[in-house]
Amino acid sequence: MKTEILKIRSIVSDIDKIRRAGELLRGGEVIAIPTETVYGLAANALDEEAVARIFEIKGRPQDNPLIVHISEEYDLEKLCEDIPESAYKLAHAFWPGPLTMVLKKKDVVPGIVTAGLDTVGVRCPRGRFARAIIRSAGVPLAAPSANISGRPSPTDAKHVIEDLDGRVKAIVDGGRCSVGVESTVIDMTRETPVVLRPGGITLTQLKRVLGKVDTSFEAVGEVRSPGMKYRHYAPKAPVKVLIGGLSDAAEFIKKQSANRKVAVICFEEEAESFKETGAPVIPYGRESEPAELARGLFDALRRADESGAEEIYAREPGIGEGIELAVINRLEKAAGYNRIILDMNQ
Protein backbone atom coordinates (compact mmCIF):
# COMPACT_ATOMS: atom_id res chain seq x y z
CA MET A 1 0.00 0.00 0.00
CA LYS A 2 1.21 3.49 -0.84
CA THR A 3 1.31 5.60 2.33
CA GLU A 4 0.15 9.22 2.00
CA ILE A 5 2.32 11.63 3.98
CA LEU A 6 0.23 14.57 5.19
CA LYS A 7 2.61 17.25 6.46
CA ILE A 8 0.94 19.78 8.73
CA ARG A 9 2.54 23.01 9.91
CA SER A 10 -0.51 24.91 11.04
CA ILE A 11 -4.17 24.05 11.43
CA VAL A 12 -5.27 27.08 9.46
CA SER A 13 -3.01 26.70 6.43
CA ASP A 14 -3.24 22.90 6.36
CA ILE A 15 -6.93 22.50 7.10
CA ASP A 16 -7.37 20.42 3.93
CA LYS A 17 -4.95 17.82 5.31
CA ILE A 18 -6.73 17.74 8.68
CA ARG A 19 -9.98 17.16 6.79
CA ARG A 20 -8.36 14.43 4.69
CA ALA A 21 -7.18 12.68 7.88
CA GLY A 22 -10.68 12.97 9.37
CA GLU A 23 -12.28 11.60 6.22
CA LEU A 24 -9.94 8.58 6.12
CA LEU A 25 -10.66 7.82 9.79
CA ARG A 26 -14.42 8.15 9.30
CA GLY A 27 -14.11 5.77 6.35
CA GLY A 28 -12.60 3.05 8.54
CA GLU A 29 -8.93 3.53 7.64
CA VAL A 30 -5.97 3.27 10.04
CA ILE A 31 -3.60 6.26 9.99
CA ALA A 32 -0.75 7.58 12.16
CA ILE A 33 -1.28 10.94 13.87
CA PRO A 34 0.89 13.18 16.04
CA THR A 35 0.01 13.82 19.69
CA GLU A 36 1.95 15.76 22.33
CA THR A 37 3.28 12.50 23.83
CA VAL A 38 4.11 10.15 20.95
CA TYR A 39 2.60 9.41 17.53
CA GLY A 40 -0.53 7.26 17.65
CA LEU A 41 -1.80 4.61 15.23
CA ALA A 42 -5.42 5.70 15.05
CA ALA A 43 -8.76 4.28 13.93
CA ASN A 44 -12.43 4.86 14.71
CA ALA A 45 -12.79 3.34 18.21
CA LEU A 46 -16.41 2.38 17.50
CA ASP A 47 -15.53 0.40 14.34
CA GLU A 48 -14.46 -3.13 15.30
CA GLU A 49 -12.92 -3.97 11.92
CA ALA A 50 -10.83 -0.82 11.84
CA VAL A 51 -9.62 -1.48 15.40
CA ALA A 52 -8.75 -5.08 14.51
CA ARG A 53 -6.45 -3.72 11.77
CA ILE A 54 -4.54 -1.63 14.33
CA PHE A 55 -3.58 -4.85 16.14
CA GLU A 56 -2.56 -6.49 12.83
CA ILE A 57 -0.47 -3.57 11.60
CA LYS A 58 1.42 -3.18 14.89
CA GLY A 59 1.73 -6.91 15.55
CA ARG A 60 0.22 -6.15 18.94
CA PRO A 61 -0.92 -8.96 21.27
CA GLN A 62 -4.74 -9.12 21.36
CA ASP A 63 -4.85 -8.99 25.16
CA ASN A 64 -3.34 -5.50 25.37
CA PRO A 65 -6.12 -2.87 25.44
CA LEU A 66 -6.03 0.41 23.49
CA ILE A 67 -6.51 3.98 24.72
CA VAL A 68 -9.50 5.90 23.32
CA HIS A 69 -8.84 9.55 22.42
CA ILE A 70 -11.48 12.27 22.60
CA SER A 71 -11.28 15.94 21.62
CA GLU A 72 -13.63 17.32 24.30
CA GLU A 73 -13.61 16.50 28.00
CA TYR A 74 -17.39 16.04 28.10
CA ASP A 75 -17.20 13.18 25.59
CA LEU A 76 -15.91 11.08 28.51
CA GLU A 77 -19.52 10.48 29.56
CA LYS A 78 -20.38 8.97 26.17
CA LEU A 79 -17.79 6.22 26.71
CA CYS A 80 -17.76 5.63 30.48
CA GLU A 81 -20.12 5.18 33.42
CA ASP A 82 -19.81 5.23 37.23
CA ILE A 83 -17.33 8.10 36.88
CA PRO A 84 -16.09 9.11 40.34
CA GLU A 85 -15.81 12.75 41.41
CA SER A 86 -12.01 12.36 41.53
CA ALA A 87 -11.94 11.59 37.78
CA TYR A 88 -13.72 14.86 37.03
CA LYS A 89 -11.15 16.64 39.19
CA LEU A 90 -8.28 15.06 37.21
CA ALA A 91 -9.93 15.92 33.89
CA HIS A 92 -10.40 19.48 35.05
CA ALA A 93 -6.75 19.74 36.13
CA PHE A 94 -4.93 17.87 33.35
CA TRP A 95 -7.11 17.63 30.23
CA PRO A 96 -6.36 18.24 27.50
CA GLY A 97 -3.03 16.59 28.32
CA PRO A 98 -0.90 13.45 28.77
CA LEU A 99 -3.20 11.64 31.21
CA THR A 100 -5.20 8.46 30.51
CA MET A 101 -7.93 7.49 32.96
CA VAL A 102 -9.14 3.89 33.20
CA LEU A 103 -12.90 3.85 33.99
CA LYS A 104 -15.86 1.49 33.70
CA LYS A 105 -16.82 1.33 30.02
CA LYS A 106 -20.24 1.76 28.46
CA ASP A 107 -21.56 -0.81 25.96
CA VAL A 108 -20.77 1.44 22.96
CA VAL A 109 -17.05 0.70 23.39
CA PRO A 110 -16.36 -2.56 21.51
CA GLY A 111 -14.66 -5.37 23.43
CA ILE A 112 -11.79 -5.48 20.94
CA VAL A 113 -10.68 -2.00 22.05
CA THR A 114 -10.45 -3.02 25.71
CA ALA A 115 -9.21 -6.58 25.13
CA GLY A 116 -12.40 -7.83 26.76
CA LEU A 117 -11.98 -5.81 29.97
CA ASP A 118 -15.01 -3.98 31.38
CA THR A 119 -12.89 -0.83 31.72
CA VAL A 120 -11.57 1.57 29.07
CA GLY A 121 -8.61 3.97 29.07
CA VAL A 122 -9.63 7.44 27.87
CA ARG A 123 -7.45 10.43 27.10
CA CYS A 124 -8.07 13.93 25.76
CA PRO A 125 -4.74 14.88 24.14
CA ARG A 126 -3.30 18.40 24.31
CA GLY A 127 -1.66 18.22 20.88
CA ARG A 128 -3.47 20.76 18.68
CA PHE A 129 -3.20 18.64 15.55
CA ALA A 130 -4.45 15.55 17.38
CA ARG A 131 -7.52 17.37 18.70
CA ALA A 132 -8.26 18.92 15.32
CA ILE A 133 -8.06 15.49 13.66
CA ILE A 134 -10.37 13.89 16.25
CA ARG A 135 -12.86 16.72 15.76
CA SER A 136 -12.66 16.40 12.02
CA ALA A 137 -13.17 12.61 12.22
CA GLY A 138 -16.19 13.16 14.44
CA VAL A 139 -15.59 9.87 16.27
CA PRO A 140 -13.43 8.83 19.24
CA LEU A 141 -10.09 7.35 18.13
CA ALA A 142 -8.49 4.19 19.46
CA ALA A 143 -4.73 4.70 19.22
CA PRO A 144 -1.73 2.86 20.59
CA SER A 145 1.74 4.26 19.94
CA ALA A 146 2.51 4.11 16.20
CA ASN A 147 5.50 1.77 16.39
CA ILE A 148 5.85 -1.92 15.56
CA SER A 149 5.10 -3.70 18.82
CA GLY A 150 8.19 -3.87 21.05
CA ARG A 151 10.09 -1.03 19.30
CA PRO A 152 10.75 2.42 20.83
CA SER A 153 7.69 4.68 20.56
CA PRO A 154 7.79 7.22 17.70
CA THR A 155 8.31 10.85 18.68
CA ASP A 156 8.83 12.12 15.13
CA ALA A 157 7.12 11.30 11.82
CA LYS A 158 10.40 9.83 10.52
CA HIS A 159 10.21 7.14 13.26
CA VAL A 160 6.69 6.24 12.11
CA ILE A 161 7.87 6.07 8.51
CA GLU A 162 10.71 3.74 9.60
CA ASP A 163 8.23 1.32 11.19
CA LEU A 164 5.03 1.67 9.17
CA ASP A 165 5.67 3.04 5.67
CA GLY A 166 3.62 0.95 3.24
CA ARG A 167 1.55 -0.58 6.04
CA VAL A 168 -0.82 2.35 6.75
CA LYS A 169 -3.03 4.48 4.54
CA ALA A 170 -1.55 7.77 5.78
CA ILE A 171 0.95 9.30 8.19
CA VAL A 172 0.20 12.79 9.44
CA ASP A 173 3.55 14.55 9.97
CA GLY A 174 3.18 17.17 12.70
CA GLY A 175 6.86 17.44 13.58
CA ARG A 176 8.44 16.39 16.88
CA CYS A 177 6.34 15.51 19.92
CA SER A 178 6.68 18.02 22.74
CA VAL A 179 6.44 15.60 25.70
CA GLY A 180 8.20 12.58 24.19
CA VAL A 181 7.02 9.87 26.60
CA GLU A 182 3.51 8.42 26.67
CA SER A 183 0.64 9.52 28.87
CA THR A 184 0.38 8.57 32.52
CA VAL A 185 -2.18 5.77 32.89
CA ILE A 186 -4.22 5.85 36.11
CA ASP A 187 -6.89 3.37 37.18
CA MET A 188 -9.79 5.38 38.59
CA THR A 189 -12.00 2.38 39.38
CA ARG A 190 -10.24 1.71 42.70
CA GLU A 191 -10.91 3.29 46.09
CA THR A 192 -7.39 4.75 45.90
CA PRO A 193 -6.45 5.54 42.27
CA VAL A 194 -3.59 3.38 40.99
CA VAL A 195 -0.91 4.63 38.61
CA LEU A 196 -0.42 1.83 36.06
CA ARG A 197 2.19 3.61 33.93
CA PRO A 198 4.20 6.74 34.81
CA GLY A 199 4.14 9.33 32.04
CA GLY A 200 3.64 12.95 31.03
CA ILE A 201 1.62 13.93 34.12
CA THR A 202 3.85 13.50 37.16
CA LEU A 203 3.18 11.92 40.56
CA THR A 204 3.65 15.33 42.15
CA GLN A 205 0.88 16.72 39.94
CA LEU A 206 -1.46 13.78 40.63
CA LYS A 207 -0.92 13.96 44.39
CA ARG A 208 -1.71 17.65 44.40
CA VAL A 209 -5.20 16.89 43.07
CA LEU A 210 -5.94 13.46 44.55
CA GLY A 211 -4.06 13.50 47.84
CA LYS A 212 -3.29 9.78 47.81
CA VAL A 213 -2.24 7.66 44.84
CA ASP A 214 -1.08 4.08 44.70
CA THR A 215 2.08 3.65 42.64
CA SER A 216 2.17 -0.10 42.33
CA PHE A 217 3.72 0.10 38.84
CA GLU A 218 6.91 -0.10 40.85
CA ALA A 219 5.91 -3.48 42.29
CA VAL A 220 7.81 -6.23 40.56
CA GLY A 221 5.89 -9.16 39.15
CA GLU A 222 2.41 -7.73 39.47
CA VAL A 223 0.76 -7.05 36.14
CA ARG A 224 -2.28 -4.81 36.42
CA SER A 225 -1.96 -3.03 33.12
CA PRO A 226 -1.76 -5.72 30.45
CA GLY A 227 0.72 -3.68 28.41
CA MET A 228 3.31 -3.70 31.17
CA LYS A 229 4.23 -7.36 30.83
CA TYR A 230 5.64 -7.28 27.31
CA ARG A 231 9.18 -6.39 26.19
CA HIS A 232 8.97 -2.77 25.19
CA TYR A 233 10.67 0.29 23.77
CA ALA A 234 13.59 -1.86 22.68
CA PRO A 235 16.19 -1.14 20.01
CA LYS A 236 17.59 -4.13 18.11
CA ALA A 237 20.86 -4.23 20.07
CA PRO A 238 20.64 -5.12 23.78
CA VAL A 239 20.53 -2.18 26.20
CA LYS A 240 22.15 -2.06 29.65
CA VAL A 241 21.72 0.72 32.19
CA LEU A 242 25.08 1.88 33.50
CA ILE A 243 25.01 2.95 37.16
CA GLY A 244 27.98 4.67 38.82
CA GLY A 245 30.19 7.76 38.76
CA LEU A 246 31.16 9.37 35.44
CA SER A 247 34.87 8.52 35.48
CA ASP A 248 34.18 4.87 36.33
CA ALA A 249 31.53 4.74 33.63
CA ALA A 250 33.87 6.25 31.02
CA GLU A 251 36.59 3.80 32.05
CA PHE A 252 34.12 0.91 31.68
CA ILE A 253 33.02 2.05 28.20
CA LYS A 254 36.62 2.37 27.07
CA LYS A 255 37.28 -1.26 28.06
CA GLN A 256 34.08 -2.51 26.44
CA SER A 257 34.70 -0.72 23.15
CA ALA A 258 38.09 -2.39 22.82
CA ASN A 259 36.24 -5.69 22.20
CA ARG A 260 33.12 -4.71 20.29
CA LYS A 261 31.02 -1.85 18.93
CA VAL A 262 29.19 -0.17 21.77
CA ALA A 263 27.18 3.07 21.88
CA VAL A 264 26.49 5.29 24.89
CA ILE A 265 23.22 7.10 25.55
CA CYS A 266 24.04 9.77 28.12
CA PHE A 267 23.32 13.24 29.53
CA GLU A 268 24.64 16.35 27.72
CA GLU A 269 26.71 17.11 30.80
CA GLU A 270 28.59 13.81 30.39
CA ALA A 271 29.00 13.76 26.61
CA GLU A 272 32.57 15.14 26.52
CA SER A 273 33.92 12.53 28.93
CA PHE A 274 32.32 9.66 27.06
CA LYS A 275 33.55 10.99 23.70
CA GLU A 276 37.10 10.47 24.94
CA THR A 277 36.40 6.71 25.02
CA GLY A 278 36.01 6.69 21.21
CA ALA A 279 32.56 5.04 21.33
CA PRO A 280 29.61 6.71 19.55
CA VAL A 281 27.95 9.04 22.05
CA ILE A 282 24.25 9.92 21.88
CA PRO A 283 23.27 12.63 24.36
CA TYR A 284 19.50 12.72 25.03
CA GLY A 285 19.17 15.91 27.08
CA ARG A 286 20.52 17.58 30.21
CA GLU A 287 20.37 15.62 33.46
CA SER A 288 19.32 18.86 35.14
CA GLU A 289 16.27 19.11 32.80
CA PRO A 290 14.35 15.81 32.97
CA ALA A 291 11.74 17.09 30.47
CA GLU A 292 14.56 17.21 27.86
CA LEU A 293 15.45 13.60 28.67
CA ALA A 294 11.80 12.61 28.17
CA ARG A 295 11.72 14.38 24.79
CA GLY A 296 14.95 12.81 23.60
CA LEU A 297 14.92 9.24 24.92
CA PHE A 298 13.06 7.31 22.22
CA ASP A 299 14.93 9.05 19.41
CA ALA A 300 18.24 8.24 21.16
CA LEU A 301 17.30 4.55 21.40
CA ARG A 302 16.62 4.46 17.66
CA ARG A 303 19.81 6.35 16.83
CA ALA A 304 21.87 3.96 18.94
CA ASP A 305 20.76 1.20 16.58
CA GLU A 306 21.66 3.31 13.54
CA SER A 307 25.20 3.68 14.90
CA GLY A 308 25.61 -0.04 14.31
CA ALA A 309 26.31 -0.78 17.97
CA GLU A 310 26.18 -4.39 19.12
CA GLU A 311 25.53 -3.25 22.65
CA ILE A 312 24.01 -0.04 24.02
CA TYR A 313 24.84 1.43 27.42
CA ALA A 314 22.54 4.09 28.85
CA ARG A 315 22.73 6.55 31.73
CA GLU A 316 19.54 7.11 33.71
CA PRO A 317 18.53 10.08 35.88
CA GLY A 318 18.13 9.94 39.65
CA ILE A 319 14.69 9.02 40.93
CA GLY A 320 12.12 11.62 41.99
CA GLU A 321 8.41 12.26 41.53
CA GLY A 322 8.70 14.21 38.27
CA ILE A 323 8.85 13.15 34.64
CA GLU A 324 12.19 11.39 35.24
CA LEU A 325 10.08 8.51 36.61
CA ALA A 326 8.69 7.90 33.13
CA VAL A 327 12.21 8.15 31.65
CA ILE A 328 13.55 5.60 34.13
CA ASN A 329 10.56 3.30 33.54
CA ARG A 330 10.99 3.29 29.73
CA LEU A 331 14.75 2.89 29.90
CA GLU A 332 14.59 0.02 32.40
CA LYS A 333 12.07 -1.74 30.16
CA ALA A 334 14.14 -1.13 27.05
CA ALA A 335 17.00 -2.74 28.98
CA GLY A 336 14.85 -5.64 30.19
CA TYR A 337 15.92 -4.51 33.70
CA ASN A 338 19.56 -5.22 32.87
CA ARG A 339 21.82 -2.90 34.87
CA ILE A 340 25.52 -2.75 35.44
CA ILE A 341 26.49 -1.31 38.79
CA LEU A 342 30.09 -0.12 38.74
CA ASP A 343 32.07 -0.74 41.88
CA MET A 344 34.91 1.74 42.45
CA ASN A 345 36.81 -0.77 44.53
CA GLN A 346 37.10 -3.42 41.85
The binding site for Mg ion (CB under 5 A) comprises 145
Residue whose C-alpha is closest to residue 109's, from 75, 74, 144, 85: 75
Alpha-carbon distance 264 to 267, whole Å?
Answer: 10
Q: Which of 18, 51, 66, 206 binds ligand TXA (CB under 6 A)?
A: 66
Neighbour-count burial of 85, counting CB atoms closer than 10 A to its CB (0-12 exposed, 13-18 middle, 19+ buried) = exposed
Residues 91-120 that bind ligand TXA (CB under 6 A): 98, 100, 102, 114, 117, 119-120
CB 31 within 8 A of CB 139: no
Distances (CA, A) of 190 to 175, 212, 224: 37, 12, 12
35 binds, among ligand TXA, Mg ion, none (CB under 5 to 8 A by kind): ligand TXA
Nearer to ligand TXA, 148 or 246 (CB): 148
Q: Which residue is nearest to Mg ion (CB)?
A: 145
Nearer to Mg ion, 14 or 163 (CB): 163
CB 125 within 8 A of CB 69: yes
Q: How many residues bind ligand TXA (CB under 6 A)?
A: 29
- Work out whether 40 is an interface residue with ligand TXA (CB under 6 A): yes
303 binds, among Mg ion, ligand TXA, none (CB under 5 to 8 A by kind): none
- Work out whether 156 is an interface residue with ligand TXA (CB under 6 A): no
Q: By three-state DSSP, how is residue 219 classified?
A: coil
Nearer to ligand TXA, 72 or 310 (CB): 72
Distances (CA, A) of 67 to 119, 211, 303, 319: 11, 25, 28, 27
- Work out whether 3 is an interface residue with ligand TXA (CB under 6 A): no
- Work out whether 178 is an interface residue with ligand TXA (CB under 6 A): no
194 binds, among Mg ion, ligand TXA, none (CB under 5 to 8 A by kind): none
Distances (CA, A) of 40 to 116, 156, 172, 177, 261: 21, 11, 10, 11, 33
By CB under 6 A, name the binding residues for ligand TXA.
35, 37-38, 40, 64-67, 98, 100, 102, 114, 117, 119-121, 123, 143-145, 182-183, 185, 196-197, 225-228
